[in-house]
Amino acid sequence: MIKVYGIPNCDTVKKARNWLDGFKIDYQFHDYRKDGISTDMVTAWAAELGFEALLNRRGTTWRGLPDSDKADVDSLKAVALMVAHPALIKRPLFDTGAERYVGFGADVQARLRERT
């Protein structure tokens, strides 16, 4: 079963969940804010996908951070920021058990469809 990580009011997460439902793809939803997220989990994702692929620098959460937090971001700092502010993690994140994908572009949709 696919695990989908995100925030339920995110438009892209809503779109992804509706898409999964439409294709009758089983998934479990994990709400970052409600269910939490561990440092170990984010560290593993950053190691696999790269912290730049995970870190959402376009959202209001990033813009609201102090300049000191946004300066000199490396993997360790990015992980700490994402754990402290889960909205900084790009959404949705899909975990198939064997692979992880971030975002909901055509490439991710194709990979998820291959699993059905």
pTM comes to 0.92
Could you give the residue numbers annotated as active site? Answer: 10
92-104 tens-digit pLDDT: 999 999 999 999 9
How many domains is the chain built from? 1
Rounded to an integer, the average pLDDT of 21-27 is: 95
48-82 tens-digit pLDDT: 999 999 999 999 999 999 999 999 999 999 999 99
Query: With bands split at pLDDT 50, 70 and 90, how would you rate the model's confidence at 33?
Result: confident
Cis upstream peptide for 92 (omega within 30°) = yes
Q: What is the CATH number of the domain that holds 26?
A: 3.40.30.10
Q: Which two tokens stand for residue 44?
A: 């593993």
pLDDT at site 114:
87
Query: Which residue range(s) make up the domain with 36?
Result: 2-114
